[in-house]
């Protein structure tokens, strides 16, 4: 299996160029459903230790339905197949540039959530124009097991988010363990109470949002991903969902740029334009760096061929 690994703001992406499962034909959404239904063992083998690493996202290249797109891609982590992935799209664009598939300029990429546009500005810098994002519910109340209540906005940015602002704990690296445990508990409670998308889609990510102590940075976040690890980047789809909330509250004007950093300090530049369906069209700019190009081998006698169970 031929792969190229990169990281976007510290969050790893593994682009799978060949050797993945045959997902048949149909829309990207249909093929993503087949990957989730029939091939999670493949996803786990690629991303879990010893072959992978915590927080890594896979990007499986597939034929696009839309002929104007340079490729189709289905993103996944060790916990779920994803509708979209912002950091992964930045990493994919940098990887395609590294491979000579694309040159600096604008290109279209098809995902299960829809077609996104990438502008490769140089070998490491990419601006992603994401799918239309929207807030679903303002100030949803999540009842916790201890009787307390957590309030957050439900929003869509290519994945489903509960955004809690301000964060219940300080967003500092020393609190990553506690933030992870709290976010898992909130997501579990929210999904048990049916808080999510309009059609019952469950929350797959939780964001804690706060101001940043870093000069020149507008905000800091902590993002829990479906595989129960935290996002080392500021999370592209999460940032898109937050832009929808800021727009809905009148806290950010179209075209106005802000800088969002992750809990480890990696930044994205963010802005939006109004969307045709009443949401926002997010724009996010970040940097990715290729780390390795390799062939993954799966020896039939390897006791951890399928990855180390979580």
Could you check whether the bond before residue 198 is cis, i.e. omega within 30 degrees of 0? Answer: no
**Residue 222: left if φ>0, alpha if ψ -120 to 50, beta else—which one?**
beta
This prediction has a pTM of 0.97
Kindly state the tokens that stand for 256: 């106005």
Q: For residue 285, what is the enclosing H or E element?
A: strand 280-295
Q: Which of 75, 78, 82 is nearest to 40 (CA)?
A: 78
Quick one: pLDDT at residue 197? 96
CATH class of 2-131+290-295: alpha beta
CA distances from 97 to 66, 74, 91, 183, 303 (A): 20, 19, 10, 36, 36
Q: Which of 43, 69, 85, 245 is catalytic?
A: 85
β-partners of residue 62 are 72
Rounded CA separation 60/139 (Å): 36
**2-131+290-295 and 134-281, same CATH topology:** yes
Locus of tokens 């909130």: 186
Spans of all domains in the chain: 2-131+290-295, 134-281
Instruction: Tell me, yes or no, if 181 is annotated catalytic.
Output: no
Q: Which of 43, 69, 225, 235 is catalytic?
A: 235
Please state, rounded to an integer, the average pLDDT across all residues of the chain.
97
**CATH superfamily ID and name for 134-281:** Diaminopimelate Epimerase; Chain A, domain 1 (3.10.310.10)
- How confident is the prediction along the chain (310 residues), in pLDDT tens digits per residue? 999 999 999 999 999 999 999 999 999 999 999 999 999 999 999 999 999 999 999 999 999 999 999 999 999 999 899 999 999 999 999 999 999 999 999 999 999 999 999 999 999 999 999 999 999 999 999 999 999 999 999 999 999 999 999 999 999 999 999 999 999 999 999 999 999 999 999 999 999 999 999 999 999 999 999 999 999 999 999 999 999 999 999 999 999 999 999 999 999 999 999 999 999 999 999 999 999 999 999 999 999 999 999 7
Instruction: Tell me, yes or no, if 235 is annotated catalytic.
Output: yes
Q: Which of 253, 240, 248 is nearest to 113 (CA)?
A: 240
SS3 (DSSP) at 76: strand
């Amino acid at each position: 299996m031929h792969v190229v690994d990169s990281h976007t703001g510290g969050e790893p992406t593994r682009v799978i160029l060949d050797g993945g499962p045959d997902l048949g034909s149909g829309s990207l959404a249909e093929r993503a459903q087949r990957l989730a239904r029939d091939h999670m063992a493949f996803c786990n083998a690629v991303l879990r230790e010893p072959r992978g690493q915590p927080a890594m996202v896979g990007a499986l290249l597939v034929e696009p339905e839309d002929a104007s797109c340079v490729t189709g891609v289905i993103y996944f982590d060790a916990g779920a197949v994803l509708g979209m992935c912002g950091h992964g799209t930045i990493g994919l664009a940098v990887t395609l540039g590294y491979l000579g598939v694309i040159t600096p300029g604008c290109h279209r990429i098809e995902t299960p959530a829809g077609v996104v546009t990438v502008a490769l500005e140089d070998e490491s810098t990419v601006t992603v124009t994401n799918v239309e994002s929207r807030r679903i519910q303002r100030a949803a109340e999540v009842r916790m097991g201890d009787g307390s209540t957590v309030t957050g906005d439900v929003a869509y940015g290519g994945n489903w988010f509960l955004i809690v602002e301000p964060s219940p704990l300080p967003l500092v690296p020393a609190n990553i363990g506690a933030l992870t445990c709290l976010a898992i508990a909130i997501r579990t409670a929210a999904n048990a109470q049916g808080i999510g998308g309009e059609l019952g889609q469950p929350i797959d990510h939780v964001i804690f949002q706060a101001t940043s102590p870093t000069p020149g940075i507008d905000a800091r976040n902590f993002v829990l991903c479906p595989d129960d690890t935290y996002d080392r980047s500021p999370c592209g789809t999460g940032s898109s969902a937050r832009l929808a909330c800021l727009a809905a509250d009148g806290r950010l004007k179209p075209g106005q740029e802000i800088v969002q950093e992750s809990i480890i300090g990696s930044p994205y530049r963010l802005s939006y334009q109004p969307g045709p369906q009443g949401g926002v069209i997010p724009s996010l700019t970040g940097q990715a760096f290729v780390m390795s190009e390799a062939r993954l081998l799966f020896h039939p006698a390897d006791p951890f061929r399928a990855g180390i169970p979580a």
